[in-house]
Amino acid sequence: MTRPDIGVFGSGAWGTALAITWAKAGANVALWGPFPEEMALLAAERCHPRLRQAPFPEGLRTSDDPTAALSAPLWISAMPTQVSPAAWAGLRPQASVAPDCLIHVSKGILQSTRQTLSQALTGVLDLPVGALSGPSFADEVSIGVPTAIVLALPTIVAEERARALQAQLSSERLRIYLSRDVVGTELCGALKNVLAIAAGLVDGLGLGYNARAALITRGLAEMARLVEVLGGQSATVMGLAGMGDLLLTATGPQSRNRTFGELVGKGATVAAARDALGGQVVEGMFTTEAALELARAHGLDLPIATEVQRLLNGESPTEAVRRLMTRSLKSE
């Protein structure tokens, strides 16, 4: 294989779906994952076990050796949020030459530091870090269902380079909009998972579409308050990274976070609901406490996130709904 155009780090469904998309569009893509047995299986079957309808294109190569991916002029980080800083601390010294920026596609807030990934990885890598986010299920992206997402890059990345990256990562079926609001894009992607758990709870309790619509709408207001106080833009909240991703994750059947909330609403324990998802990461479980800590530090009230945290602590789903519905009356 010639030198790859793109190195994707993280062989979960989302990173692999993007790697497939870019390889279909003609790029040479190196996909790295840390587990030898898993990567050997991907290499042998030329297919991801969760993306069976999307065989790997010729331009996609997989390996548990990061050498090829690190040689690419563009790095895409697709590892789970909580492990990404430590993983990159180990990967970065193995690269003889680094690209001019890194783009991550993970969603969440670090539990240990309450940072977004761009904030944490910029220090680890000594590189500008951007984020690719928006309403996108991996299975649909992998088979070419039309999708629109946002590429948020810091202002240190020159406009010409930003436009070049936008063009490089776009394809006929993956439309990418450019933003400079990195922290807002990241926070929207993290918070929508918390709200999706709450939406799943409403579905699991059988409370109907009226309740779910109210939950999503008021959840968007919570998202906006936290994003804006932490330096993000209101336009981001109302765009693909915010409202778009929230609508998808709070209603789509493929959503792990919504499904987790639905299972708990139907009576499963938190542990049982998590086990039912077969080891898939439920990002909202890790993000809820971090989001509430950030809110408290800025004097904000996030009632829906608060009830999700109580739910994760084992409190009654019906009590969570009762508390939300009997809060003191307010203006919208």
Distance CA 160, CA 157 (A): 8
C-beta of residue 55 within 8 angstroms of C-beta of residue 71: no
C-beta of residue 301 within 8 angstroms of C-beta of residue 327: no
Distance CA 61, CA 42 (A): 9
Which residues does 224 contact at the CB level (< 8 Å), separation at least 6? Answer: 234, 237, 242
192 catalytic residue (yes or no): yes
Distance CA 332, CA 239 (A): 20
Q: How many CB atoms lie within 10 A of CB 152?
A: 28
Q: Which residue has the tokens 């492990």?
A: 83
From the list 194, 196, 157, 182, the residue with the least C-alpha distance to 236 is 182
Catalytic residue among 107, 192, 266, 330: 192
Which residues does 166 contact at the CB level (< 8 Å), separation at least 6? Answer: 151, 176, 177, 178
Catalytic residues: 192
